[in-house]
Chain A
Amino acid sequence: MMSDNATSRTLLVCCGTGCLANKAAAVADALDAACPEASVKRTGCNGFCENGPIVKVQPDDISYYRVKPEHAEKIAASLGHGPVMSLLFRDADKKLVLRQADNPFYAPQHKVALRNIGTIDPLAIDDYLDAGGYRALERALAMEPDEIIAEVTASGLRGRGGAGFPTGVKWASARAEEVFPKYVCCNGDEGDPGAFMDRSILEGDPHSVIEGLAITALAIGAEQGFLYIRDEYGLACANVAAALGAAEARGYIGTNIRGSGRRLRLEIVRGGGAFVCGESTALMASIEGRLGEPRAKYVRSVQRGLWDKPTVLNNVETLANIPVIIAQGGVRFAEIGTEGSKGTKVFSLVGKVERTGLVEVPMGVTLRHLIFDIGGGIRRGRRFKAVQTGGPSGGCIPEGLLDLPVDFDTLTEKGAMMGSGGMIVMDEHDCMVEVARYYVKFLSDESCGKCTPCREGLRQMLAILTDLCEGRGQQGDIELLERLGATMKESSLCALGQSAPNPVLSTIAHFRDEYAAHIEEGRCPAGVCPALTTFVIDSEACTSCGACKKACPVDVISGDKDTPYEIARDGCIACGSCRESCRFDAVSAHQRKEALA
C-alpha cells in the first residue's frame, strides 16, 4: 500500500551549496534508500538556506525544513498519509506551514530568474526542456537579430550585475559594429561578501544562462563565448560544464544549432579568485591570459573588448532573464517592476534578520518590505540600524530611508546602490565605523592596485579608520575621509575605485555622530570596537544561565548559580560574545577607560 503512495510522488531535495554543507547529499541518498519507488530529485538552491536541507514532496506540495538523513524513514512512511509535522516550517505565530507558497519567506516573492531553481534537476536537460527550456532559443533562431534586440529593448531589462546598463542598448551597439569575430561573455565572478545570487543560478539552472548566452550570440552575431566563473564556485563550474555538454549533445550549442547552420562555441574560464576580475575590462584581460587589471573604458567593450573585438558581457542573472523575455515577449516582462527598472531582482538577504536567504521580488518593492515582511524583521527584537546594499561598493542605508523603492536609480541618488543584490542587515549592535573599516579592508586587499587614487586612497582610509576604531582618531579625520573619498570617486580608473569610498561616505552621511563619538570621546556607541569598549554583567538581570561563560573564548567569566557572574578585567578581549549570547540583556557595553590588555 505504501509503495502505491510512493510511486506517484517526487521528492525534491535541495542540493544547493548551503544544503549540501548540511548533509543534503546524505538526505537524498537516505530518501533514495527509504522510498525506492518514489522519484528523488536533487535540485538547486531553494534560497532559504538557513533552514536547509529542504525537501519538497510533490504533488502534495509539502515542504520540510532542516531535514536530516535519519528523517528519511519517517518521510517515506508518511507519503500519502499526511505530513511529518515535526519537519514543517513554523511561522512567527508558531503556526505550521504546509506549502512553500504559504511560507512568509516565499509568499511575497515573484520568481523569474529563479523560476526553475528548486524544481528541476540542474544535471537533467530534460527537466529544463519540460519546464519550457530552449523554446526561446528555437524562437530566436527564427527571428532576425534586430527583432531579438527589439524584444530585449522593449523589456526594459537592465544589467543585473550592478551598473544597470540597458541590455538592449548594449546588444544593439555590439551588433552595429562591423568587426568580426565578436564575442559573448557571461560574468559569473560574483564576489561581494554575503552575496550568492549568481552562484545559485549557475548551480541550480545552468541551462537558463546558457540559453540566454546563446540568444545573445544570435542577436549580435557572435560564434564564440565564454562563461567566466569564479574558481571558488566549484559546484557551479561542475554543473555548468555538465550542462554545456548536454546542450551541445542536443544541438542547442555547437557547430549547427538545431540544424539552423548557426554555430556557437561556449567554454568555461575559471577566475583566479580576484574580486576585481568581476570588472568588465579586468575580466576580459583575465580571459585573455593577462594580468587582471582594468583598462580605461573611454572605448567601450562593445566596440573593443576581448582581443580588441566587439564583446557583450552580461551578468548571470541578466542572462537568466533573457529566455523569459524572448519566450513571452518583452512587453509582458516590462509589466513587472517600476518605470525605470523593469522585471524582478534577486537579493541575498543576510545579516541580523529573522529569515535570511535568496529572495526574488519585483523591482520597486521597499526595503522595509524586504527586511520586515520577507525577512521577518530584526533578530531577537533588536532595533534596525542600517542595511548595507550593493556589496563593498554600495552604501549603508539608515532607517529613515527604508520606505524607498528598491531599483537601480533611487538608491544611487541616496549614495548607496542596489548593485548586484547583496543586502546585509545590521542592528544596534553594529558599529558603522567598524563596518566602513571592514569594507575598506576588503577593498584594499581586492583592489587591483593599478591606479593611485584607489590603491593609495584605500590604504590611507584604512589607516584612518583603524585609528578611529582603536581610539587614535584625530580632529579633522572625518573631513579628510570625505576629501579622499571625493577624489577617489572621480579620478579612479574603474568602477571599483570610483565606488570604493561609498561605504565610508555613506556611513559618514548617515551616522556622522558615531564617527564623532569615536574621535571626540573615544567611545564606540554600539559597543563593538574592542579598544573602546568593556562589558559588564548586571547581576539584577542575570539569571545565572551560564550562556555567557560558555560563549567566552578567553574564559574570563566566572560565576555559578550561587555566585554572581562577573567578567574579569584581565584577559578580556572585549569581543562581545557574552553580550550576543545573553538572552536576558544582562550584559551591557560601556566605554573603556583603561587600555586594552
Chain B
Amino acid sequence: MISITVNGRVCACEEGEYLLDVAERNGMLIPHLCYHRGLLPIGACRVCIVEVIERGRSKVVASCVYPVRDGIEVHTASPRIREQRSVIIALLLSLAPGSTEIKRLALQLGADIPRLVKAPESDTCVLCGRCTAACEALGTGAIAKVGRGVTKKIAAPFDGMPPDCIGCGSCAHVCPTGTIAYEHTDESVSVWGREFELMRCTGCNAPLMTREQHDFLTRKGGESPELLCERCGKQGVARKLKTRERYLG
C-alpha cells in the first residue's frame, strides 16, 4: 500500500493502479471520454489530464493510463490543467458540434473558441476509440480506426457494411456521444447498416441474440451455447438443483 495526495487529500492506493481510478474512488471526479471501466485504458481523448508533481518536477499526464507511484502530488484542476482541458474540449467541440455530451462539457468548463473551424453541425464522433476497443476486446474486430492524421475515422472495411459484425451492439453501448446508431426491435437489430435477425429463447420465446452472435459464440466456445435467456437459464439451473436435491433426499 502506498499513498498519494490528490488535490491536497491523502489517498491510499496500490502501486501501479491508474490515477483516475484512485481519484474517483476517493470521490474526486475527473472528466473523461475514452476511459471506460470495462475496457483497457486507451489514453486518446486527453480530457482526463491532471498535473503530477514528482520529486519536485511537474508534468501533465493522462490520469486514465498513469500508474501511481508513492508520494506523488496530483492536481486535477490546477489553472494549467483547466486551461489545457478547456482547449481540448474546445477542439472536440469543433470536431463534434452535434454531441450533447461535448456541449455539456464545454459549457461546464467554459470551453469554446469561436475562431476554430467547425465540422458540420450534425457530427458527433470524437474519435475516442472506445467502439473499436470494445469490438477488438470481444474478438470480432469488425470495425477499426482507418487512416491516420486528420483523416482518421472509424469505419468498416472499405467503408462498406462490416462483414464480421455480429450485431452485438457493444460499440454503440460504449460510445460516449451516442454516435453509433443501434436499432432494436423484437425481431431484429440493425447496426452499421446491417440488419440482424434475432434468435429467441427456447424457454420463453423472448428475443435473445443475433444468429451471428450465436455462431460466433459457437466458434469461440467450441460448442453451441444453449438458447436461453438469463431468466430461463437460471430457472433451468434451479430446476436441476431441485431434482438433484430430491434425488439426494
Contact = CB atoms under 8 A, between A and B. Distances in A.
A460 B83 CA distance: 17
A446 B61 CA distance: 23
B88 A444 contact: no
B44 A452 contact: yes
Contact of B149 (A447, A491, A492): A447
Interface string B83-95: 1100110011011
Interface string A479-508: 010011011001111000000000000000
Contacts of A451: 43-46
Interface stretch (A24-32, A291-299, A326-334): A291-299
Given A452-B46, A456-B95, A463-B117, A487 B84 contact: yes
B148 A276 contact: yes
Interface string B29-60: 00000000000010111110100000000011
B158 to A, nearest CB: 17
Interface string B129-162: 1000000000000001101111110000000000
Contact of A477 (B66, B115, B144): B115
Interface in A428-480: 443-453, 455-460, 462-464, 474, 476-477, 480
Interface in B108-140: 113, 115-117, 126-127, 129
Nearest to B87: A487
- Name the prevailing secondary structure of the A interface residues: helix
B69 to A, nearest CB: 9
B65 A296 contact: yes
Contact of B94 (A276, A448, A456): A456
B91 A448 contact: no
* Highest count of chain B CB atoms <10 Å: which of A455, A458, A462, A464: A455
A477 B49 CA distance: 25
B117 to A, nearest CB: 4
A474 B113 CA distance: 14
A487 B83 contact: yes
A452 B127 CA distance: 8
Most chain B CB neighbours (cut-off 10 Å) among A444, A446, A493: A493
A11 interface: no
B62 A296 contact: yes
B43 A490 contact: no
A73 to B, nearest CB: 52
Contact of B152 (A455, A477, A490): A455
A480 B87 CA distance: 10
A464 B127 CA distance: 22
A452 B88 contact: yes
A276 B149 CA distance: 10
B43 A296 contact: yes
Contacts of B148: 274, 276, 292, 445-449
Given A274-B148, A449-B149, A455-B149, A483 B87 contact: yes
Contacts of A445: 148-151
Nearest to B43: A296
B67 interface: yes
A452 B45 contact: yes
B43 A444 contact: no
Contacts of A484: 87, 91
Contact of A456 (B41, B59, B91, B144): B91
A445 B152 CA distance: 9
Most buried by B among A274, A292, A450, A492: A450
Contacts of B88: 452-453, 456, 487, 491
Nearest to B153: A449
B117 A453 contact: no
Given A490-B60, A493-B62, A447 B150 contact: yes
Given A298-B67, A449-B150, A449-B152, A457 B43 contact: no
Given A452-B91, A483-B87, A296 B60 contact: no
B115 A480 contact: yes
Contacts of B91: 452-453, 456-457, 460, 484
B92 A456 contact: yes
Given A446-B148, A447-B148, 13 more contacts: A274-B148, A298-B67, A444-B150, A445-B149, A449-B148, A450-B129, A451-B46, A452-B46, A459-B117, A460-B91, A487-B88, A490-B80, A491-B84
Nearest 7 A/B pairs, CB to CB:
A449-B152, A456-B91, A487-B87, A296-B65, A490-B60, A463-B117, A487-B84
21 contacts: A446-B149, A448-B149, A449-B147, A449-B148, A451-B43, A451-B44, A452-B127, A453-B46, A455-B150, A455-B152, A456-B91, A459-B95, A459-B150, A460-B116, A474-B115, A487-B83, A490-B59, A490-B84, A491-B46, A491-B60, A493-B46
Interface of A: 274, 276, 291-293, 295-296, 298-299, 443-453, 455-460, 462-464, 474, 476-477, 480, 483-484, 486-487, 490-493
